[in-house]
Structure 1
Amino acid sequence: MSLPFFGLFAGLALILAGRRGAAMLVWALSMTLLALLFRLHATDALNIAL
């Protein structure tokens, strides 16, 4: 679950390095991965044992 946040950090580092295009690509990939992980998490069945 932390992988998208490492991608966002890498995008920030790329912005500071002056590589705007690469930063936008890394940001878009991170957002896509975050949405995919959220979809998997939100649609997972709850196993509740009472």
Structure 2
Amino acid sequence: MMSLPFLGLFAALIFVSVGHRRLAILCWLTSMVILLVLFRGHAADTLRMIL
């Protein structure tokens, strides 16, 4: 799952280099939303520690 934002950012970099600005912005925004969703799930997860 964590690879999805990085693949989206890589696609945005490719779109910028080709000259498709709107697609690059769309990929960047989508990657940021995915990162926020993944962070929310990670931050709300309880720690299972056995001491």
- Regarding TM over 0.5, the answer is yes
The alignment of Structure 1 onto Structure 2 pairs a total of residues equal to 50
CA offset digits 1:25-49 (Å, max 9, x no partner): 0100000000100010011000001
**Map of 1:31 onto structure 2:** 32
State the identity as a percent.
52
**Map of 1:13 onto structure 2:** 14
1:49 aligns with 2:50: yes
Structure 1 residue 23 displacement after superposition: 0.5
**TM-align CA RMSD:** 0.6
> Which blocks of at least 5 consecutive residues in structure 1 are unaligned?
none
- Helix, strand or coil for the counterpart of 1:48? coil
- Helix, strand or coil for the counterpart of 2:46? coil
With normalisation by structure 1, the TM-score equals 0.95
